Structure 1
Amino acid sequence: MFGIYLKRELGRRKKAALVIALGLALGIALVITVNSVSAGMTQAQDKVLKSLYGLGTDMTVTKARTAPTSGSSGGPNFKFDAKSSSSSTQSSDRVQTQGGQALKSSLVTKVAGQKGVESAVGALSLNVTKVDGSFTQGKAKSSTSSSGSSGQGGPGGGSSSSGGAPQVQGGGANFNVNSYSVVGVDVAHQGLGPLSTMKVTSGKTFTTAQTGSKVAVVSKSYAKEKKYKVGSTFKISGTKFTVIGIATPDSSESDTDVFVPLKAAQTLGDAKNQVTTIYVKATDSKQISTVKKEITANISGTTVTTSADLASTVSGSLSTASSLATSVGKWLSIAVLAAAFLVAALLTSSAVSRRVREFGTLKALGWPSRNVTRQVVGESIVNGLIGGALGIALGVGAAYAVTAISPKLTAQLGNTGGGGGVGGGPGGGGPGRQASQNTLEIALSAPVSLTTIVLAVGLAVTGGLIAGAMGGWRASRMRPADALRSVS
């Protein structure tokens, strides 16, 4: 009886049911869209952080660089001799540790032994500035000039001839400056640290036997710039390295141009048994803040940077869009959803008012108030489910459109103060390169999860229940006499 009556009444009031369903559908569609875009923002931010940290890395340990001593700029220093031959070319490399004050390699073991730490690995970030070019020696030329005078110019009077001072003409210098980043990695633990964000697309990566070998893996962009390929060789401070692999970053861009074994990097940077960054993986990702406190308390003088710390430094359109999606979008969704629920409740209540004769007659025939209420609530829930289905279709369609368009967002990465290059990570590039490398471009997607769909169904049922409760309460208060008074 209930089902038959429900079907007949919904069929008779198609327009009213459709209006209620569409109102709920718009609110539910907006909630799905905002949730999906927010999830896309989170994924985009994870890509940015992954490009800095590496897969499985939860935090880094660094030490802030001390201020330069008095009379020292702390920058690279180049000394050249002006040789006599203009054809001679002079070249000099200056290798400096980059990103923060060097730490003892023994600290890696100490960090790995802290409570809550699963593994730790050290890396050494270097900046290499190469200056090469040549001097051109100028030539000294003397000029002479003679003039006659009446004798007032000197005690003897008469004419005099004087020779001009020699002047250097021509000469100068022409030098090129090239700055690039080098990171020394622990070849025995490549799954954690800077190289874990890279995928070797040509050649091969390091083996555990190449601890101190003069081999290198270069980024694809740097290899293209320098026209390197597998087997190419280049020199750093007179040491020849062979390219064994060319790597592409898993996401975003790479802040590192050249990867070499850690021991080779320590030799280049005159940093024996030293690292600049310690990468840490926690045993439980939910206890990262606790592990951070543990490391900070037991290893003084260091700065521990987590992904949450880095996330707070991300700015640009990614940060702006994320803020809109999580704050403005959330409150807009709540407002629209509340309005949809209210409209559905008012429309249902209004529909009940127009059915006074019907419900009054049913009560006169012996229907208890609970049956009338159940009838109204049942119709409202069906309207809500129809609205939910339409809302899910609209929301998924909107999310798919965002993913198909894939708008580009920029992420500018600030420094957390840990002294570790970009946001406390390694590398960071050299002078003149850091600003461009700190800006990453991310394609936005809007994935729809099963949780979002379940939320949409729950909202549809809730909307139906709210509307049904309001309409049912009004219907339950009707009396058979109301039906008789409505008869003309």
Structure 2
Amino acid sequence: MFFTYLRRELRRRRKAALVVASGLALGIALVIVVNSVSAGMTQAQGKVLESLYGLGTDMTVTKAAAPPGEGDTVRRPRFQFDAKDGDDDAEQSQDIVMVQGFETLAASTVAQVGKQDGVADAVGGLNVRVMKVNGKFKRGEFEQEPGQEGKPGGPAGGEVRGEVQGGGADFDVNSYSVYGTDVAHQGLGPLTSSKVTSGRTFKASETSAEVAVVDSAYAKEQKLSVGKALTISGTKFTIIGLATADSGDAAANVYLPLAQAQTLAEAKDKVTTVYVKATDSQQIDSVKATIQKNISGTTVTTSADLADTVSGSLSTASDLASGVGKWLSIVVLVAAFLVAGLLTSSAVSRRVREFGTLKALGWKSRRVTGQVAGEALVNGLIGGALGIGIGLAGAWAITAFSPTLTAQLAGGAGGADGGPRAVMGGGGPGGPAQSASEALDIALTAPVSLTTIGLAVALAVTGGLIAGGFGGWRASRLRPADALRRVE
């Protein structure tokens, strides 16, 4: 009887049911879209951090920045070329290999960090920048003015007028980033954010081997390939693999075994960054506090700290989604609930004769209330189904068009300020592709999780119950006498 009457009433009042369901559907669809966009923002931000930190890294440890006026003098690149007699056109070439941007830590710090409570793994890395200058000098030639040919020079013959023509210098400067990776522990660090697409990665036994993995974009630019040699400061490294960054921007141009990078940069037993993975992602803050307390002179930066420095359109869109978007969806949803409740209550007032007659026939108030609540709940479920459909369509459209957002990390290029950007050495190991003056382009997606779908269903049921509560309360107050007074 309940379902038969329910089906007949919903069919008889299709327009009213559609209005209530549509209002709920719009509110639920907006909630789905906002939640999916927020999830997409989180994923996009995660890609930015992974391109710098590496996959699975929860925090990094670097040496604390020295107060202004203290510490060693900033090292500046200095190129010196030998004069070669009798060969003016001789090629001149020199590499300067420097630790990137900030002070180093002793390699023993990696083991110290690994022993701290809450640390699952710790791996050291060395960020290095190579500046290569090559070219040649050309001596100019003295040319006499017209009419001066054959005129003897010197005090006796008088002054010979003319000028030096040609000559000068032609040098090419190439700067690129190098990351020294612990080949025996490749589970952490920036190299994990890239996938080897040609050749192979390092073997655990190649701790001191003269081999290199090169970023595919840099290899294309420099016409490098697997099997070719890359010469750095006189040492030839065989390219064993090409790596493509997952986010489109590589952490470094060249990856070398840690020992080789330390030798090139004259930083034996030194590292610039310790990459840390926590045993529990919910306890990262406590692990950070433990490391800072037990290992003095270090700066610990978590992925959350770095996320706070992300700027650009990604940050703006994220703020809109988490702020304006969520509040807007809440307001629309509340309005939809209220409208559904008021429409249901209004519909009950137009059915006074019907409900009064049913009571006169023996229906109890709770049965009438249940009937109204059932109708409202079905309206809510219909609205939920429509809302999920509209929300999924909206999320699919966002993913299909994939609007591009830019992300930029704050901090100076030198990394001397010790801020989060300095963790990667001021651009690096990311180098020019991730310098402070350039931004990362991230394609926005809008993934819809089962949790979001579950939330939509819960909202649909809630909306139906709220509307049913309004209508049921109104129906429970009706008396059979009200129906008799309306009989014409």
TM-score strictly above 0.5: yes
Counterpart-to-counterpart distance in 1, 2:73 and 2:285:
38
> 434-443 or 446-455: which moved more?
434-443
State which of 395, 412, 415 in structure 1 corresponds to 2:408.
412
Q: Tell me if structure 1 keeps the 8 A contact 2:183–2:206.
A: yes
Tell me, what secondary structure is at the counterpart of 2:321? Answer: helix
Say if 1:324 and 1:78 are closer, same or farther in 2 by CA, change over 3 A: same
Q: What whole-Å deviation, never above 9, does each CA across 1:28-63 have from its counterpart, x for those lacking one? A: 111111111111111111111111111221110012
> 61-70 or 183-192: which moved more?
61-70
The within-5 A match list for 1:208-247 is: 208-247=204-243
State which of 120, 127, 130 in structure 1 corresponds to 2:129.
127
1:34 matches 2:34? yes
Q: TM-score, normalised by structure 2?
A: 0.92
In the TM superposition, what is the alpha-carbon distance from 1:447 to its structure 2 partner? 1.2
1:441 matches 2:441? yes
Amino acid at match of 1:31: V
Q: Which residue of 2 aligns with 1:154?
A: none
Q: Which residue of 1 aligns with 2:483?
A: 483
Tell me, what secondary structure is at the counterpart of 1:424? Answer: helix
In the TM superposition, what is the alpha-carbon distance from 1:317 to its structure 2 partner? 1.5
Number of residue pairs matched? 475
In the TM superposition, what is the alpha-carbon distance from 1:423 to its structure 2 partner? 5.5
Say if 1:52 and 1:434 are closer, same or farther in 2 by CA, change over 3 A: closer
> 81-90 or 130-139: which moved more?
81-90
Say if 1:424 and 1:105 are closer, same or farther in 2 by CA, change over 3 A: same
Q: Which residue of 1 aligns with 2:195?
A: 199
Counterpart-to-counterpart distance in 2, 1:63 and 1:348:
66
Counterpart-to-counterpart distance in 2, 1:375 and 1:71:
82
Counterpart-to-counterpart distance in 1, 2:466 and 2:318:
32
Say if 1:94 and 1:186 are closer, same or farther in 2 by CA, change over 3 A: same
Q: Tell me if structure 2 keeps the 8 A contact 1:145–1:162.
A: no
Runs of at least 5 residues in structure 1 that lack an aligned partner in the other structure: 147-159
In the TM superposition, what is the alpha-carbon distance from 1:69 to its structure 2 partner? 7.8
Amino acid at match of 1:45: Q
The within-5 A match list for 1:43-442 is: 43-64=43-64, 66=66, 74-84=75-85, 85-140=87-142, 163=159, 168-415=164-411, 419=418, 422=421, 424-425=423-424, 428=428, 434-435=434-435, 438-442=438-442
Tell me, what secondary structure is at the counterpart of 1:228? Answer: coil
Amino acid at match of 1:80: F
Tell me, what secondary structure is at the counterpart of 1:399? Answer: helix
In the TM superposition, what is the alpha-carbon distance from 1:234 to its structure 2 partner? 2.0
Counterpart-to-counterpart distance in 1, 2:350 and 2:370:
18
Counterpart-to-counterpart distance in 1, 2:431 and 2:115:
36
Amino acid at match of 1:460: A
Amino acid at match of 2:423: G
Q: Tell me if structure 2 keeps the 8 A contact 1:59–1:305.
A: yes
Q: What whole-Å deviation, never above 9, does each CA across 1:331-388 have from its counterpart, x for those lacking one? A: 1101111111111111111101101111111222222221111111111001101111
Between the aligned residues of both structures, percent identity stands at 64
Tell me, what secondary structure is at the counterpart of 2:378? Answer: helix
> 169-178 or 305-314: which moved more?
169-178
Give the aligned CA root-mean-square deviation in angstroms. 2.5
Amino acid at match of 1:33: V
Say if 1:424 and 1:367 are closer, same or farther in 2 by CA, change over 3 A: same
Runs of at least 5 residues in structure 2 that lack an aligned partner in the other structure: 149-155
In the TM superposition, what is the alpha-carbon distance from 1:250 to its structure 2 partner? 2.3
Larger radius of gyration: 1
> 452-461 or 75-84: which moved more?
75-84
In the TM superposition, what is the alpha-carbon distance from 1:171 to its structure 2 partner? 2.1
> 101-110 or 41-50: which moved more?
41-50
In the TM superposition, what is the alpha-carbon distance from 1:420 to its structure 2 partner? 7.8
Q: Which residue of 2 aligns with 1:15?
A: 15
Counterpart-to-counterpart distance in 2, 1:477 and 1:201:
73
